[in-house]
Amino acid sequence: MAENIVEIHGLKKVYREGSVSTEALRGIDLSVARGEYLGVVGKSGAGKTTLLNMIAGLDSVTEGEITVDGRRVDKMNEVKKAVWRGRSVGFIFQSFQLLPGLSLLDNVMLPMDFCGKLSRNSSEKAAELLRMVGLIDHIHKIPSEISGGQQQRVAIARALANDPILLLADEPTGRLDTATSEVVFEIFEKVVAGGTTMIIVSHDHSLAERTRRIITLADGRIADE
Amino acid sequence: MRPRTKKIFYDFRSNPSRSVLVILSIFVGLFAVGMIMTLWICIPSDLRMGYELSNPANIYFRLSPFDNSLIRSVQKWENVQDAMGSSVATLRAYDGSGKLKKVVVQAVSDDSWPVNHIDILEGSWPLKDGEAAVENYKLTDLDGKVGKPLTLKTSSGKEVNVTVAASIRDQSLGAGDYSIVFIEPIQVYVHEDMLRKLEMDTHWNTLRIVLKDGGKDEQRIRDQANIYADRLKKAGYQVQSIALRRSDAHPTADYADAIAGILLVIGVLVVFLSGSLTYNTLTAILSNQMRQIGAMKTVGATYAQIVFMYMQLILLYSLIALVLAVPASMGAAELCRDFLGKNINFANIRTGVVWETVIVQLVLGLVVPQVAGAIPVTKGAHVSIQKAMGGMRGTGSGDNDRFTRGMSRLFSRPTALSMRNTFRNKSRLILTLFTLSLGGAIFIASFNVNKAIDEHVAVIARYVQADLDLVTDQPYRLDHIQSILKDIPEINYIEGWGAGSATYIDPDGNDGPSMSILAPPDGSALIAPNVKEGRWFEPGEQNVITLSERFNYTYPDLKVGDKIKMEVKGTGNKTEWTVVGFFTMAGKSGGFLAYMPLSSWLHISGAGNRLTKFQIVTQNRLNDERRAALTKDVETVLDAKGIKTTAIQRNDSFVSDAARGLNIMSIFMMIMAVLVALVGCIGLTGTMSLNVMERTAEIGILRAIGASNRNVMKNVLTEGVLIGFMSWGIGSVLSVPVGFVLTNSLGRAIFGSRLVPGYTPTGYGLWLVLSLVLSVLACRAPAKTAVDLTIREVLSVE
Ligand SMILES: Nc1ncnc2c1ncn2[C@@H]1O[C@H](COP(=O)(O)OP(=O)(O)O)[C@@H](O)[C@H]1O
Ligand SMILES: [Mg+2]
């Protein structure tokens, strides 16, 4: 077992749109150790989301290598990537992205369903995760019936559904007020304490300061460590 | 239930209007295909099978009087399956309003009708003395009803009352004289005991023979008929006419073929229509699912899993559409079959579920939506998560802005803006336009085909332009008739026409079919023929003849310039004629009809310069009532001078009879037009409202930056009207080839030649109004919903 869960070498990403191309990442080298709690900060447009997407295999790499848990993400095909992502990575968006028609319980069970991990205990496990994020009383509600902060907690429970080794969060509190954000971070700390590696992206320095290690992105490069 | 299955059901429930649209798109296609295919399968087979089941005669002999002993011996002849004698005479009967109508009365001895079985539709059978059965097709022409009395007028003028005891279907109508049900007079059937009362010959005059081993070989029927004819002549009978018909040749089969041809064209087009409609609606649904697809992929859904989920959703739509469409199309097809059966005289033989159709519906219903959905589904499932989550990034390229600027020069700014919206999604627009235009094209084409039919009916009318057609039982000189009728003030002038029948002698020298001959005087203003090939005869020409399209069809080798032989009835002389042209009249299934100059007719008729047919032209603007009165007056005046009239008929009734079959085609085209309009309107409404639904967010933004609700509505409606108008324009252009194909297949089936395409503003106008009104209505509802939402709600809509 490799010591570092994430290894990135010379990562570049160029977006091409017609004749316009944007260099979002201009050569990133980064290692994240197992169990680490990493914060990525930087101004809007610095390339934070792009970096996170690259690690989760949500978009293709232009140049460079990404190894996660010993596997080359940049070399996987789409199907392998999907299965791997479902089993190994949890991802949290700024805008929650719960499925509107499904109950909170079903939303949390959805990753198990896609990864073929659905079993008789699934709903108990999902309920357990929802209890962990403090929503055990709402499990049969649908997302539009709860607040934004609660939705983000469901999204966290969903990200944890398949016991990922890596949890990624892109501006998870960007749409939440300070008090609610506090609750979310408390949950993250619980998760990290349980041994899961976590990377949080935020443009807000004060929140990312709660992490144990911080890197700053500027203009597609790591500016500060 | 697993979460992803729940999601499928949620997608299905969450936006009912969208789900209803998809289901409707699939439904209309399946409905139309089901109905069209059922008709396509059943009508030709109903016709052929139903006719064969009636044990139809292959040979009809019109003979000098004979009795049952001849029938008994004919039954023993080689290759004879069945033989039947009947007595057929033309009499007249009073209709409900006291007008005299020509009727053909038939009497047979055997209650079981061994040949040309009839179906009892209503009433009692067998007939008793004093009872009559009336053929259903023209029962209404007599204002007759089962149970009502009917007054027949014998040839001597005696009136005989009978009761209409039954209404029956006789599919062989027209078979005995190369004619079709539409042109045939009203048919009355009586028991043989009635013959004496009706002053008809108590002997038989018509012999019908069914050949063994199903007479489906025309040559064999002809050969047998020649052998039998010789034998009958040797036995001392006069053979007045011969008619031959295959056992599978229902007299109106041409019409069924025409209908089948049209059904096929429209059916194929409707499948395309429904397919593109379904594609449109599914694309709209999928484009609203992008973020959810992104979210599912993020949590580990594979491409295949996502595709499969949406396939299941589509399957759900398909199943619902199928459950509705299968029975609905069956019902509609049944109604259509009943209507057509009544009107082109066939029986619904095939009953129960038409499984071929159901299977095709199942296959189409399950496959077409999946195929239509394949493109948007795979596209959606393939989209990278980053793009799916990115949402609206990168819309509004420079290209469109240039477009807006250009348009702003021509139109007001808001109009230009809504035009930009229209053109924003090019492939979508093309598909929308394609769907709507195709629907419009078929709709408009139906009206144009209808117009072509009407125009041809007008062509038929030009053969008979006199107002009254008087036929006397003996030949008279024209000036004699003129002087008798000169005191009736409504009569403008009278033309005397030669009329008679002849036996066509086929190229092998055998007796062929009986043909009717008409001979208008030189320069007659009462006929304007429609020459299909060659020319009409010139004044003063001798020994020339023009033939109806039926000759072309039965004797394809016959050409303009050929010489033909015939024997005019009652003369015993065979004469030779030069064919100068062929004309088109009521269709290739119409009778053998020939025109020749009057002088030629007088030469051969053997009646000197006396004639039996007089064409009476009345003053203009005689209303119906006065024309009917005139008809009576003419008969009374002639009667007083001892001149018996065989028939005095208004020519417009001949035209309406001859056009009857075509009018059925007309009505049928209208049924198709309504069907297509249904598909088209649903397509229009669906596509338009989806367009607007998709823009809910955009509408929110427009309002957020200060556009008034009125402005937003105006923009949306302008766009709707623009698409409606464009689709109308393209549809109008497309209707030309579609109409051409339809008219052609109709012409080929009924006339054996092209039918001149017709054009009428009705279809164009109706479709323009329909597309504009529906566009506005379809855009209004979703736009209103969008405007009524609060801006926050709109922006939270995906
Ligand atoms: N899909 C895309 N197409 C083109 N350019 C993009 C796309 N996504 C991001 N970018 C560009 O890449 C750069 C980095 O963006 P992003 O990673 O979203 O920054 P951050 O998350 O730090 O705000 C920005 O300049 C942005 O405009
Ligand atoms: Mg970002």
C-alpha to C-alpha distance for B665 and B32, rounded to whole angstroms: 18
Rounded to an integer, the average pLDDT of B414-434 is 68
Using the structure block, give the residue that is written with the tokens 């500060």: A224
Please report the pLDDT score of residue A202 as a whole number: 85
- Whether A133 maps to a domain, the answer reads yes
CA–CA distances in Å: residue A8 to residues A59, A76, A93, A168: 15, 15, 22, 15
pLDDT digits (tens, 9 = 90+) for A35-82: 999 999 998 899 999 999 999 988 889 999 999 999 999 999 888 888
Q: What per-residue confidence (pLDDT) applies to A2?
A: 57
Which of chain B's residues have a Cβ under 8 Å away from the Cβ of A111?
299-300
pLDDT digits (tens, 9 = 90+) for B173-203: 888 777 777 778 888 998 888 888 888 888 8
DSSP string, B136-174: GGGGGGGT--TTSEEEEE-TTS-EEEEEEEEEEE-TTTT
**Helix-strand-coil split of chain B, %, nearest 5:** 55, 20, 25
Contact residues, chain B, for A158 at CB < 8 Å: 299
Angle at B136 between CA B133 and CA B140, to 5 degrees: 105
Question: Which residue of chain B comes nearest to A52, CA vs CA?
Answer: B386
Sign of CA dihedral B341, B347, B352, B356: negative
DSSP 3-state assignment of B252? coil
B385 neighbors B298 (Cβ within 8 angstroms): yes
Residue B424 has pLDDT above 70, yes or no: no
Count Cβ atoms within 10 A of the Cβ of residue B523 and give its class: 0-12 exposed, 13-18 middle, 19 or more buried: exposed
Shortest alpha-carbon distance between residue A182 and chain B (Å): 25
Dist. CA A198–CA A56, nearest whole Å: 12
Which residue(s) pair with B468 in the sheet? Answer: B616, B650
Q: How many residues does chain B have?
A: 798
- How high is the pLDDT of residue B395? 39
Which range has highest mean pLDDT (A58-67, B215-224, B275-284)? A58-67
> To 5 degrees, how large is the angle CA B674–CA B679–CA B684?
115
Name the nearest CA neighbour of B396 among B376, B380, B417, B371.
Answer: B417
d(CA B555, CA B515): 14
The Å distance, Cα A144 to ligand 2 centre, comes to: 24
Q: How far is the CA of B702 from the centre of ligand 2 (A)?
A: 26
Please judge whether A82 and B301 are an interchain contact, meaning their C-beta atoms are less than 8 angstroms apart. Answer: yes
Subunit contact A58:B385, Cβ cutoff 8 A: yes
Predicted local distance difference test score (pLDDT) of residue B417: 62
B635 closest CA partner among B484, B483, B465 = B484
Contacts of B292 in chain A (CB under 8 A): 99-100
| Nearest residue of chain B to residue A84 (CA atoms) | B300
Q: Does A52 touch chain B (CB under 8 A)?
A: no
Q: Which of A132, A113, A137 lies closest to A123 in space, CA to CA? A: A113
Domain containing residue A176: CATH number: 3.40.50.300
Terminal CA-to-CA distance of chain A, rounded, Å?
A: 26
Closest ligand 1 atom, residue A51 Cα? 17
Is residue A40 in some structural domain?
yes
Letter string b/e over residues B176-201, b meaning 16 or more CB atoms within 10 A of that residue's CB: bbbbbbbbbbbbbbbbbebbebbebe
CA atoms in the 13 A half-sphere facing the CB of B325: 33
Is ipTM strictly over 0.90? Answer: yes
Residue A142 domain flag: yes
Residue-wise burial string across B586-602, b where 16 or more C-beta atoms lie within 10 A, e elsewhere: bbbbbbbbbbbbbbbbb
Count the domains in chain A: 1
- Domain residues for the domain of A136 are 36-60+75-224
Cα separations in angstroms, B154 against A173, B87, B100: 104, 14, 12
Interface test with A, best of B293, B299, B392, B400 (most A CBs within 10 A): B299
Query: Which amino acid makes up residue B778?
Result: A
Q: Which amino acid is at B712?
A: V
Q: Find out whether B146 and B122 touch, Cβ atoms under 8 Å.
A: yes
Query: What is the bridge-based pairing of β-strands B531-534 and B491-505?
Result: unpaired
User: Is residue B394 predicted with pLDDT exceeding 50?
Assistant: no
| Residue A127 counted as domain residue | yes
| B307-341 tens-digit pLDDT | 999 999 999 999 999 999 999 999 999 998 988 88
Position B655 scores a pLDDT of 73
The confidence score (pLDDT) of residue A223 equals: 87
Tell me the C-alpha distance between A168 and B341, whole Å. Answer: 72
Cross-strand pairs, A21: A16
Q: Is residue A2 part of a domain?
A: no
Q: Is residue B619 within 8 angstroms of chain A, CB to CB? A: no
> Which of the pair, B77 or B683, is modelled with greater confidence?
B77
What pLDDT, on the 0 to 100 scale, is given for residue B798?
42
Residue A28 lies in a domain: no
Nearest CB partner across the interface for A106, out of B3, B389, B798: B3
B292–A99: do the CB atoms touch at under 8 Å?
yes
The answer for B756, left when phi > 0, alpha when psi is -120 to 50, beta otherwise, is: beta
Is residue A18 included in any domain, yes or no? no
Q: Are strands A63-68 and A37-42 parallel, antiparallel or unpaired?
A: unpaired
Percent of chain B topping pLDDT 90? 26
Q: Is A20 exposed, middle or buried (0-12, 13-18, 19+ CB in 10 A)?
A: exposed
CB A204 within 8 A of CB A176: no
Confidence of residue B399 (pLDDT cuts 50, 70, 90): very low
Q: Of B74 and B114, which is predicted with more confidence?
A: B74
Centre of ligand 2 from the C-alpha of residue A74, in Å? 21
Q: Is residue B231's pLDDT more than 70?
A: yes
The full DSSP string for B322-367 is HHHHHHHHHHHHHHHHHHHHHHHT------S--HHHHHHHHHHHHH
- How many whole angstroms from its chain centre is CA B196? 42
What token pair was written down for B724? 């409606």
Which residues are registered as beta bridge partners of B187? B104
- Predicted confidence at residue B111, as pLDDT, reads 62
Interface membership of B613 toward A (CB under 8 Å): no
What pLDDT does residue B406 have? 65
- Read off the tokens for B314: 């589509």
Determine whether the interchain pair B303/A86 forms a contact, defined as Cβ–Cβ distance below 8 Å.
no
Give SS3 for B63: strand
In the reported structure, the alpha carbon of residue A13 is separated from the centroid of ligand 2 by a whole-number distance in angstroms of 14
Per-domain residue ranges of chain B: 1-53+249-392, 57-244, 468-621
What pLDDT is recorded for position B401? 55
> Does the beta-carbon distance from B291 to A97 stay under 8 Å?
yes
Q: pLDDT tens, B464-511? A: 888 888 888 889 999 999 999 888 888 888 999 999 889 898 888 888
Dihedral pair phi/psi, residue B152, rounded to 5°: -100, 150
Phi and psi at B317, nearest 5°, equal -60, -45
In which element (H, E) is residue B667 found? Answer: helix B660-694
B301 touches chain A (CB under 8 A): yes
> For residue B177, what is the DSSP state?
G
Nearest to B368 by CA among B262, B442, B272: B272
The answer for residues whose C-beta is within 8 angstroms of residue B346's C-beta and 6 or more apart is: B43, B46, B47, B50, B51, B171, B250, B252, B256, B340
pLDDT band at residue B761 using 50, 70 and 90 as cut-offs: very high
By CA distance, what is B300's nearest residue in A?
Answer: A86
Q: Are B583 and B529 in contact (CB under 8 A)?
A: yes
Which pLDDT score, from 0 to 100, does residue B403 have? 59
DSSP state of B556: T
Q: Does pLDDT of B744 surpass 60?
A: yes
Give the Cα separation of A136 and A188 in Å (integer): 18
- Ligand 2 centroid, distance to A162 Cα (angstroms): 25
Classify A48 as helix, strand or coil.
Answer: helix
Residue B362 near chain A (CB below 8 Å):
no
How far is residue B16 from each of residues B10, B19, B518, measured CA to CA in Å? 10, 5, 68
Q: How confident is the model at residue B708 (pLDDT cuts 50, 70, 90)?
A: confident
pLDDT number for residue B421: 63
Q: Which of B291, B298, B310, B382 to mutate to test the interface with A (most CBs of A within 10 A)?
A: B298
**pLDDT in the model for residue B397:** 39
- Placement of tokens 């399968």 in the chain: B41
User: How far is residue B652's CA from residue B303's CA, in Å, rounded to a whole number?
Assistant: 71
Whether A151 and chain B come into contact, CB under 8 Å, resolves to no
Yes or no: say if B500 and B494 are a contact pair by the CB < 8 Å rule: no
Report the amino acid identity of residue B732.
S
Comparison of pLDDT for B630 and B211, the residue scoring more: B211
Give the tens place of pLDDT for each residue, B90-120: 888 888 877 778 888 988 776 667 888 888 8
> pLDDT per position in chain A (225 positions), as tens?
557 999 999 999 999 887 889 999 999 999 999 999 999 999 889 999 999 999 998 888 999 999 999 999 999 988 888 889 999 999 999 888 899 889 999 999 999 999 988 898 999 999 999 999 999 999 999 999 999 899 999 999 999 999 999 999 999 988 888 888 888 899 999 999 999 999 999 877 776 678 889 999 999 999 877
Residue B275 sits at φ, ψ, to 5 deg, of -60, -45
Is B303's CB within 8 Å of A161's CB? no
Cβ separation A86–B299 shorter than 8 A: yes
Alpha-carbon distance B687 to B671, whole Å?
24
Taking 50 as the threshold, does the pLDDT of residue B741 lie above it?
yes
From CA B57, how far away is CA B83, in angstroms rounded?
A: 8
Q: Taking CB atoms and a 6 Å cutoff, what residues make up the pocket around ligand 1?
A: A 15, 17, 22, 24, 42, 44-50; B 390, 393
Strands A197-202, A37-42: pairing is parallel
Contacts of A81 (CB under 8 A, 6+ apart): A57, A73
B642 φ/ψ sector (left φ>0, alpha ψ -120 to 50, else beta): left
